[in-house]
Amino acid sequence: MPDVDAVDATKAAAVATRDEIIEAMKDVVDPELMVNVVDLGLLYGCQVDEQGNVTLDMTLTSPTCPLTDKIEYDTKYVLDTLANSVTINWVWLPPWTLEMITEDGREQLRAIGYNL
């Protein structure tokens, strides 16, 4: 059986970069729009400290989004092997708008029938 402290030390020693975290966040898909949160422009900020703790500033397309828990779960799931801990700060300023969607996100939305 592996030594738990050794596994934790290995995980902490390989601190992911900000770019690696953002790339992994492309696996978190908004369940309503079926486009990842990065290309939708929902990820406002990403900080990674020396211990591999990740803090994300994120927003939603609507403050009343009923699927916030799903996005939180998926975020923690995709970052599990990259981060020692994940904190999501839900922010509402600036308000999310369609202009925040990347060109890749626009193409994905067009592919499923949205007219942008």
Two structure tokens written together for 99:
């202009």
pTM of the model: 0.85
Q: Can you give the pLDDT of all 116 residues of the chain as single tens digits?
A: 545 444 454 444 579 999 999 999 999 999 999 999 999 999 999 999 999 999 999 999 988 888 999 999 999 999 999 999 999 999 999 999 999 999 999 999 999 999 98
- Residue 6: burial class (beta carbons within 10 Å; 0-12, 13-18, 19+): exposed
What whole-number distance in Å separates Cα of residue 39 and Cα of residue 73?
19
